[in-house]
Amino acid sequence: MAHRVTGVLIFFFLFVHVLDTALVRVSPEDYDKVVATYKTPIVALLEYGLVAAILFHALNGLRVIAVDFWSKGPRYQKQMLWTVVGVWVVLMAGAVYPVLGHAARVLFGS
């Protein structure tokens, strides 16, 4: 279920991204305003959520491939799921500063 939810979230992000990028051809001033809103701490949290969704979707996708194409995959799918979750947690912990560092400096100062 989480794989499908993250896939839908990533799709909607890409849809909005294409629309806001296309805005530069229609109205460069409005595009600049939209991009300025992306520098807020709230959007930084949303970006962290996007990183979480993409990372989980990618790692779980590899697990799904292993379950489908490896003869022993179905037998080990639960262990592979916990491995995916563990790797995801470690990588998300490592992504905190790069993704949220700017927002923390804006909110709490340097």
Annotated binding site for heme: 57
Binding site, by residue number, is 57
**Which residues lie closer than 8 Å to 69 by C-beta, 6 or more apart?**
none
Structure tokens at 75: 């037998």
The greatest distance separating any two alpha carbons of the chain, rounded to the nearest whole angstrom, comes to 56
**Measured between alpha carbons, how far is 82 from 73 in angstroms, rounded to an integer?**
14
Nearest to 17 by CA among 2, 3, 31: 31
